[in-house]
Structure formats: C-alpha cells, structure tokens
Amino acid sequence: MTKNPLINALSASAYIIFGVTIMSFVTEPLKNKPDTFFAPIVFLSLLTLSVAVMAFLFFYQPVMLFIADQKKEAVNLFVKTTGIFAVTTTITLILLSIGLI
C-alpha cells in the first residue's frame, strides 16, 4: 500500500472496524431467523475478501521492494507494519479486558 508502516497497520485496523460495523448492521434484522444455505457461502466469501485485503495491506509494498532488490527495506517495512498492528491489537484487547470498550 504505502511505505509508511503506521498507515498500513492503521488501514488494516480501519478495515476490520468497517467490516465488523457493516456485519453488525446487516445481521441485526436476521437474529431471530435460522441460517440458510447461503450463510456459509457468505461467510467464506467475506473471509476470502478479507484475506485479499489484508494481504494487500501487509504484503504489497514489501513484495514490490523485494522485487526491486531492496530486501532489507522490504523486511523492515513488513516487520514494522506487523509490529504496529500487533500493538494496536494488544491495546484493544487490554481496553476490552478492563471494560473501557
């Protein structure tokens, strides 16, 4: 995506928040209805889309750097992006466990 690991990691977090928000609104009217044949199809489709989006956010720019023979920069970008995402996930888990969110 970009060469800024903070933007990449925050974009991944924003995508997750967006996906959960949309899923919450869409499934609210369906709470009292039984699942149909299409429920697992929709689930697997959303999973596939999410994997593709996250792969783009985490791997696209490092792969481009790697192909351009900037291997050290590629690894650094990937590790920093993953580290920032891990920190934001940890902070979210801590806030959730102490009841602030």
The one-letter amino acid code at 42 reads V
What integer pLDDT is reported at residue 31 of this predicted model?
85
Q: Measured in whole angstroms, how far is the alpha carbon of residue 86 from the centre of its chain?
A: 11
The single residue listed with the structure tokens 């369906």 is: 30
Q: What 8-state DSSP symbol labels residue 4? A: -
- 35-68: per-residue pLDDT in tens? 889 989 999 999 999 999 999 999 999 999 999 9
- pLDDT confidence band for 30 (50 / 70 / 90): confident
Calpha distance 49→40 (Å, rounded): 14
The single residue listed with the structure tokens 């481009």 is: 64
Residues 6+ apart with CB under 8 A from 55: none
Please compute Rg for the chain using Cα positions.
17
